[in-house]
Amino acid sequence: MTRANHRVTSLDVARAAGVSQSAVSRSFTAGASVAPETRTRVLAAASALGYRPNILARSLVSRTSGLVGIVMGHLTNPFYPAVLEAFGAALRRVDKRMLLIPVPDGDVDQVIGEVLQHQVDGIVVASATLSSALAEECARQGRPVVLFNRTTTAPTVATVSCDNDGAGRLVARTLVAAGHRRLLYVAGTPDSSTNVERERGFRAEAAALGAAVRVVAGLYRYDTAFAAVTAALTQPPDAVFAANDVMGCATIDAARRHGLAVPEDLSVIAMDDGPMAAWAGYDLTVIRQPVTDMVAAAVDLLLAAGRGEAPAHIRLPGTLTERGSARL
Amino acid sequence: MTRANHRVTSLDVARAAGVSQSAVSRSFTAGASVAPETRTRVLAAASALGYRPNILARSLVSRTSGLVGIVMGHLTNPFYPAVLEAFGAALRRVDKRMLLIPVPDGDVDQVIGEVLQHQVDGIVVASATLSSALAEECARQGRPVVLFNRTTTAPTVATVSCDNDGAGRLVARTLVAAGHRRLLYVAGTPDSSTNVERERGFRAEAAALGAAVRVVAGLYRYDTAFAAVTAALTQPPDAVFAANDVMGCATIDAARRHGLAVPEDLSVIAMDDGPMAAWAGYDLTVIRQPVTDMVAAAVDLLLAAGRGEAPAHIRLPGTLTERGSARL
DNA sequence: CTGTTAGCGCTTTCAT
DNA sequence: ATGAAAGCGCTAACAG
């Protein structure tokens, strides 16, 4: 038991163990030179007093906070909670924690400032972009930035994303091969690189194969996608590629409401593979993004940058997961 | 422009502005006594050099880190991302950030240790509980803990939750008033206070009104709930209360697959009001938890504890949101 | 209002 | 292997 309301410091432990304060510090530092016997004594005293090293103080001198800033846009898109969990696990493995900043919208730049003040060891920006001016400032301060699920031309930031162009092509190829000719693309937010690439790949491949592609704006959200698809159904396509799974669900719901059966009358393939894609009510055929690998790659890039390596750009392939929403 | 690869400190700014280092500190402290003219000069120098105060150093002396630990269980339950966003917004308003620890399962205690080392100003534990030993240690260190969406008997932790018992009663009353008699409760994880309270209230009120209640185990997950409900449908109930919205969706899907129409053959009411509850495919009648208010209350409790007030227990009522899944 | 002076709790040379 | 001492970058008295 320890006295109430008193922050136990390494000095307290030192006194209790009859050693110097630095001996205590060493006992808590992996691979420091302490006599095993000393260390045991120190650890005993420490746990008796309920001592835990103060990471803030340590960070101040070691110049690494053990914190990684995660700047994330729309947590309500079920893709991102999965990403968050993956980052939590991956970062814990390298003994770092997440400083999470859910950014309302747009004002990423301001938010990055806050994160920098916390002396984070790196920053992950997901579902948003930051100005190149700020990217440069991060670089100057030696704080690696990796853009997750977005690409950029800023030379100082690393990026990790799915091969969206390839995914779009794969879907087009798959649908056309199954005999579909009138294709509909339900787009995400038009300014996101993710959406742009998926659309580009999908259209290019479809065009090459002689299939027509119409595009409606779904903005990555259920309600907008539902409305857009409903409107598009006046001239029904035979297959839909939705830029994320939420909009895939919206497409299916809109089709059913319109009296169309999925997949008999309409094939639906969506990007992402969140929890609801597997629900019995949807059974959505999807392109699964390799979230775990993407996150692992992002963490690697962060660490690599910490070692002074140049920012890289990683693209991982998505994989087609066939379920019941597409007649292939 | 500033020199590459050099962390700008307040001393650098002081020199550049021709003032003392403390003048710089004051210029960045709200309500400190600095001549306006001095402050402008300092701020100018600071922004020229790209200076940002180092929060770590500040925290070390001010003894508040500006960090709140958020320990969260299942991010994949769509209820929690919404909670996270709300906390992000509410905490930012009091100038604090989130140290997010997604806890795999169970090992909350170990995780709290990490959080404590970061000198957090408080800890929010959502969808999990912590041992009372650890709760006591937090208290001793003066770090307020609030349990979110869980209750406990530990005297040192505050709690915020929905009035789950009341919600259960409300649903039973509503369902029975609409003529339903054979009720089914799709339970969440049996050891969560949340589930226990909902079930207790639902059963008590149903019993009082002379309606029968069967219970199946859904574990708060889609797949288990789908299987459990499917099995229960061999002797169909007329109404279902699902302990969360995901299981509500599972119930609807299971019913439809079984050839039952919702709400004609089966009324479904669920707890929580996540994004998909409003989807056209489900149109789920729900008890909405007042997330924003709950989060605001949690933040208040954190701040109150910081001022030395005793831990309180707050319960906010849920509200019935009628949509199309229940015949009322 | 401003500068000087102590630390916050820890890591890290540098001697011993 | 250990202790003494010098900071990490900042805030907070305390004089002036």
Residue of B nearest to A112 (CA): B52
Chain A residues within an 8 Å CB radius of B104: 89
Mean of all residue pLDDT scores within chain B: 94
A280 lies within 8 A of chain B by CB: yes
Please give the single-letter amino acid code of residue A176.
V
- Residue B70, classed as helix, strand or coil, is strand
Residue of A nearest to B51 (CA): A117
Q: Rounded CA gap, A110 and B196, in Å?
A: 43
Q: Rounded CA gap, B156 and A328, in Å?
A: 59
In the predicted model, what is the mean pLDDT of residues B181-206? Answer: 97
Q: Which residues touch strand D (CB under 7 A)?
A: A 19-23, 26, 33-35, 37-39, 57, 60-61, 63; B 7, 9-11, 21-22, 25, 28-29, 51, 53-54, 57-58, 60-62
Asked if residues B169 and B242 have their Cβ atoms less than 8 Å apart, the reply is no
- In the prediction, which pLDDT does A233 show? 97
CATH pick for B64-163+291-318 out of 1.10.1040.10, 3.90.230.10, 3.30.390.50, 3.40.50.2300? 3.40.50.2300
Convert the pLDDT of each residue in A112-131 to its tens digit.
Answer: 999 999 999 999 999 788 88
Supply the DSSP symbol for A311. P
Buried b (16+ CB within 10 A) or exposed e, A184-193: bbbbbbeebb
**A:66-95 residues touching chain B, CB 8 A cutoff:** 66-67, 70, 75-76, 78, 80-82, 84-85, 88-89
DSSP string, B77-117: STHHHHHHHHHHHHHHHTT-EEEEEE--SSTHHHHHHHHHH
| Record: contact A52-B226, CB cut-off 8 A | no
Residue of B nearest to A49 (CA): B137
Q: Is the pLDDT of residue B2 over 50?
A: no
Q: Rounded CA gap, B255 and B233, in Å?
A: 7
Asked if residues A77 and A127 have their Cβ atoms less than 8 Å apart, the reply is yes
Q: Which residues pair with A124 in a beta bridge?
A: A70, A146
Distance from CA of A209 to the nearest CA of B (A): 34
Q: Is the pLDDT of residue A65 over 90?
A: yes
- The neighbour count for residue B25, using CB atoms within 10 Å, is 17
Convert the pLDDT of each residue in A72-92 to its tens digit.
Answer: 988 889 999 999 999 999 999
Q: Rounded CA gap, A250 and A221, in Å?
A: 9
Q: Which CATH superfamily does the domain covering A164-288 fall into?
A: Response regulator (3.40.50.2300)
In the predicted model, what is the mean pLDDT of residues A90-96? Answer: 96
Q: At what angle do helices B79-93 and A79-93 cross, to 10 degrees?
A: 70
Q: Where are the domains of chain A?
A: 10-53, 64-163+291-318, 164-288
Is A164-288 the same fold as A64-163+291-318?
yes
- In the prediction, which pLDDT does B22 show? 96
Comparing CB atoms, the residue among B7, B226, B281 nearest residue A141 is: B7
Please give the single-letter amino acid code of residue B179.
G
Distance A6 CA to C11 C1' (A): 23
Does the domain formed by A10-53 have CATH 1.10.260.40?
yes
Distance from CA of A208 to the nearest CA of B (A): 35
- In the prediction, which pLDDT does A2 show? 36
Convert the pLDDT of each residue in A225-250 to its tens digit.
Answer: 999 999 999 999 999 999 999 999 99
Distance A238 CA to D12 C1' (A): 72
Please give the helix or strand (H or E) that residue B62 lies within, else none: helix B55-62
The sign of the dihedral angle between the CA atoms of A122, A128, A129, A131 is negative
- In the prediction, which pLDDT does A158 show? 95
Distance from CA of B315 to the nearest CA of A (A): 25
Tokens encoding B270: 């669920």
| Record: contact A118-B226, CB cut-off 8 A | no
Q: Across the A/B interface, how many CB contacts are shorter than 8 Å?
A: 159
